[in-house]
Each structure stands twice: as structure tokens, then as C-alpha cells.
Amino acid sequence: MKILIAPDKFKGSMRASDVAARVAAGISSAAPDAEVITVPVADGGDGTLDAAVAAGFTLVPVTVAGPTGEPVDTGYAAKDGTAVVELADACGLVRLPGGALAPLTASSTGFGQVIAAALNNGCRRLILGIGGSASTDGGAGMLAALGARILDSGGNDVPAGGLEHVTTVDLSGLHPALRDAEVVLASDVDNPLLGDHGAAAVYGPQKGATPDDVARLDGALRVWSGAVARALHTAEGESGHPAAAVAGSGAAGGVGFGAIAVLRATARPGIDLMLELTGLRDDLPGADLVVTGEGSLDEQTLRGKAPAGVAATARAAGVPVVTVSGRNLLSPKQLADAGVRRAYALTDIESDVQKCIDDPGPLLERLGRQIAKDAID
């Protein structure tokens, strides 16, 4: 047998590469003659950097400003002039000190600092994984780290959380390498920047924003969009710069807008990009089974998450798919419609959920052995 193991992370519990290794160990113990290939995946959120490194990219360490300014050790993954940069690991929710949310003042500055480091190192294709953002700053922090100046009416630099005071954006100091760089956003979000379906309204509350905060943030993003339009000599519409209305501009608290409007970025589904980077499609010919999964299989999984993308790709190649997860909340019909033959969950063999979270490794090996036995039978 040839078995591909391509899981996403078990969020808050285990990295994708470790999940794959544990399942592989279980399969190999039950089917020692099987050819087992591990291909950890991600969808553009946290875990993207790890998946790129597992695919053969080199991790280049960088120390940057976290979401509230504290130093954070992160990095980017580089290979053949391409850099994979993960917002979550630089200045995302997982980097908030003590987990304390900062909906009005968190910044994307650290993300821009990692991008600048990649450009300084000669990378000219930038794949930006922008899931897991802690901020709603429209990408202002990112652009400031790349050389933009964001000024109020007195010509003073506007601090994080002060976008409503922006009158001028000076882009003359942007990193010169951006002129020749290709920038791709790995994101499944299709929200615009502003309004009821925008960055503040939809994602602000999960970052700690109250209803009053949401109104303030949305208004500040509208001011920001207008200032960007003027900086780029673009006719202002109702939403300021036309990019504010583009699907995906609301991703990562508006980082999508900053990247699309100023960095000329294009957006692609995160899982599609990661499947290209990991080379999973190249490993499918001759495969007898694909194992994918994530911490929780649920409705969100079906909306462009990594396991759904892996299952669709495998099904198109005629390869059967099973999943491993911490828990499975999908019905047999939902699984079948997604191309999944069978789901294996840690909670099926261990009723103590906390144990599944704290020590999933041995349980994943048990599931791996069961997957192999079922495949042989």
C-alpha cells in the first residue's frame, strides 16, 4: 500500500507535522510494508509556516514586534526566491501576551517587518498567510513597517489604534523591492473591508471588540481607505479606495485591503496554495489511501479548510480518503459529500476530552493502527 498522510494542525494541541508523524507511526506498526508519505498541510492560518518547512522550505528566523509591540521570535520560510510569511506567528491572536485581547490597538506591524526581512534577503515572490489576525488596522501597521508614513493633520505619525485621525499616507518610502515583487494572499475570506460584512463587523468581536468598538473600527477603516485612495491618486468612491469593496479585502482585519490596494496582491484560496507548495498532488499517483484531518471536524471544515481541500483533491484523483481528528461533528452524509469514506476521532477511543487535547500522540498512533488494519481488510 501507498498511504499519504496530509493533516492540518490540531489547534491548541499538536502541530500538523507531529500529527502526521504519529499517525504514520501507527500505520507503519500495523502495516510495516506500506509506503507512508507525510505531507502536513495548512490553509493560510497558524501552521502555515510549519507546513512550508515540512515541505522543504528553510526557516529564516526574525524577531519582530508582536501584536501589542512586545518582541516576538518568528520567521519566514524561504525556497528558490519564494518566501512564505505567516501573520499568526508574527502578530496574531496566538501572540497576544497572556491571551489578553486588544481590539483597538493591536497592530499588523510585525507582519510587515517579516515581509521586509524576506525582501531584504532577496525573496521576490511572497506568499502571505493571513489567518489568525489579532488586529483590525487595515494593514496600516504592515505598510508602516514596509516604509509607508501614516500621518495626521499635523504631520505626526499616527499610532496603532488611531486610524480615524489619518489624513495623509505617504508611500514614497515603501521598500523598493516591492516594485518587482509578486505578492499572493493565502486566504479563504471573501469579506469586503467595510460595512455589515466587513472586517470590523464580522471578525472584530472575536478579537474582543464591543458593538461600540466595531462601529469605531469600521469608521476608522473608512477614513483609512480614503487616505489610501488619495495616496495612490485613485478616485474615491463610497468606500474610499475601490479595493475596499474587493472580496477578501476584509481578511485579517483589513490586511487584505492594504495588500491588495498598495502591494498589488492577488488572493487565492489558502489550501490551493499550500497544496502547490507541499507537492501533495505529485504524490497522489499510485496512492491507495489519503489520511487528512484537523482538531475539530465541523461545519467550518467544509468551508475551504485544509481537510476539505485535501479530500477534494484526492477524490479528483480517484484516491479514497479517511480523516483523523480530535472530534468529529459531521454527519456521515456530510462526510460522504466532502469525499470522506470514514472518520476516525480521538474521542471515539478516549472519552476524556482534556486528555485528547493534552496528550493526543498515543491516541493518534492507535488510530493509525486501526486505519491500516481497516485498509488491509
pLDDT score, position 236: 86
In a domain, 14, yes or no: yes
Same domain, 26 and 107: no
Assess if residue 169 is contained within a domain.
Answer: yes
Same domain, 181 and 317: no
User: CB neighbours of 330 closer than 8 A, spacing ≥ 6?
Assistant: 297, 298, 299, 301, 302, 338, 343
Kindly state whether residue 281 falls inside one of the protein's structural domains.
no
Q: Is residue 337 part of a domain?
A: yes
Q: Are residues 24 and 91 in the same domain?
A: no
30 and 54 both lie in a single domain: no
Identify whether residues 120 and 266 lie together within a single domain.
yes
pLDDT of residue 304: 79
Q: In the prediction, which pLDDT does 303 show?
A: 83
CB 187 within 8 A of CB 111: no
CATH of the domain at 221: 3.90.1510.10
Look at residue 325 in the predicted model and tell me its pLDDT. 98
Domain total of the chain: 2
Q: Across 199-349, where does the E strand assignment appear?
A: 266-268, 289-297, 321-328, 342-345
pLDDT in tens, 314-332: 999 999 999 999 999 999 9
- Alpha helix ranges (H) inside 4-83: 16-30, 48-54
Taking each helix axis from N to C terminus, what angle separates 16-30 and 360-376, rounded to the nearest 10 degrees? 50
User: Are both 52 and 114 inside the same structural domain?
Assistant: yes
Using CA atoms, how far residue 315 sits from 135, 260, 320, 331, 337, in Å, is 37, 33, 6, 19, 11
C-alpha cell, 291: 489520511
Whether residue 353 lies inside any domain: the answer is yes
Domain closes at, from 236, 270, 304: 270
CATH code (residue 361)? 3.40.50.10350
Domain boundary among the residues 270, 297, 319 is at: 270
**Residue 257 shares a structural domain with residue 342:** no
- Of 49, 24, 20, the residue nearest 34 (C-alpha): 24
266 and 299 in a single domain? The answer is: no
Please tell me the predicted confidence (pLDDT) of residue 226: 97
Report the pLDDT value the prediction gives residue 377, as an integer from 0 to 100: 82
Q: How far apart are CA 253 and CA 264, in angstroms?
A: 18
Does 282 reside within a domain? no
Asked which of 239, 270, 301 is the last residue of a domain, the reply is 270
Residues of the chain with pLDDT under 50: none
> Which residues does residue 59 pair with via DSSP β-bridges, in sequence order?
77
Q: What is the rounded CA–CA span in Å between residue 217 and residue 201?
A: 9
Q: Give the pLDDT of residue 249.
A: 96
* Same domain? 59 vs 96: yes
**Rounded to the nearest 5°, which phi and psi values hold at 244?**
-65, -25
Same domain for 135 and 32, yes or no, is: no
Give the single-character DSSP code of 97: G
Strand partners, 77: 59, 84
Look up the domain containing 178 and give its range: 48-270
Residue 62 and residue 33 share a domain: no
Give yes or no for a contact between 256 and 249, defined as CB atoms under 8 angstroms apart. yes
Is 275 contained in some domain?
no
Tell me, yes or no, whether 217 and 319 share the same domain: no
Tell me the C-alpha to C-alpha distance, in Å, between residue 347 and each of 72, 289, 343. Answer: 35, 23, 11
280 belongs to a structural domain: no
